[in-house]
Amino acid sequence: MQDQYRTVAREGVHETEINRSRFLCSLAPAATEEEAQAFVARVRAQHPAATHNCFAYVVGADAAVQKASDDGEPGGTAGVPMLQMLLRREVRYTAAVVTRYYGGVKLGAGGLIRAYGGAVGEALDALGTVVRTRFRIVHVTVDHQRAGKVENDLRATGRDVRRVTYADEVAIEVGLPDADVDAFRAWLADATVGTARLEIGGEAYGDA
């Protein structure tokens, strides 16, 4: 599994005009292929009168899922250069839709490739990207007497405290780099005189 990946910072739209054709590139983070497909459908519904709504998306930190569509443009001139731009920028978990309103001037195959790939590149520059880093989720269970100090110490040392739940005991969910788990276990035992329980959970990605 990849230790980190880059994705678009937020959903948004960036517009360019080339030889009187309007190219609107819509970008959005997409955690799953279903989310990517839903985003594509939503953008298409917003632009029913457009000449083309071409798309590309990459899902998976290792780019396991890659899809592209020319939506009526000559084969390989729209979706593929869009996908190549996402991959060249090492962007993952991202869906892109380029909506074209034809302006009456043909661009030719080379012009289309540059236009569609360039629209994605410019949109990535405009919206920005963020790096997500892989971490391990650990669950700490501690008594109420010690919970406040444990939580304060975690936050003071910059730990990623994701959730705190109060019941008969206090459950604290923390995100850690894998390499820190053993040291964290030792620290927790020392901080709570061995009274806290630690359960190692799954993996997730968060801001670097």
pLDDT of residue 178: 82
pLDDT of residue 1: 57
Q: What is the pLDDT of residues 74-105, one digit of tens each?
A: 999 999 999 999 999 999 999 999 999 999 99
Please say whether the beta carbons of 7 and 95 come within 8 A: no
Please state, in angstroms and rounded to a whole number, the distance separating the CA atoms of residues 176 and 9. 22
Element (H, E) at 152: helix 144-156
The CATH code of domain 4-127 reads 3.30.230.30
pLDDT of residue 182: 93
Residues 6+ apart with CB under 8 A from 33: 57, 59, 65, 67
Q: The whole model's pTM is what?
A: 0.74
The CATH number, out of the four listed (1.20.1600.10, 3.40.630.30, 3.30.70.240, 3.20.20.70), of the domain defined by the range 132-207: 3.30.70.240
Segments of the chain with pLDDT less than 50: none
* Tokens read off for 82: 């869009």
Domain positions in the chain are 4-127, 132-207
pLDDT of residue 207: 66
Burial class (CB in 10 A: 0-12, 13-18, 19+), 97: buried
**pLDDT averaged over every residue in the chain:** 94
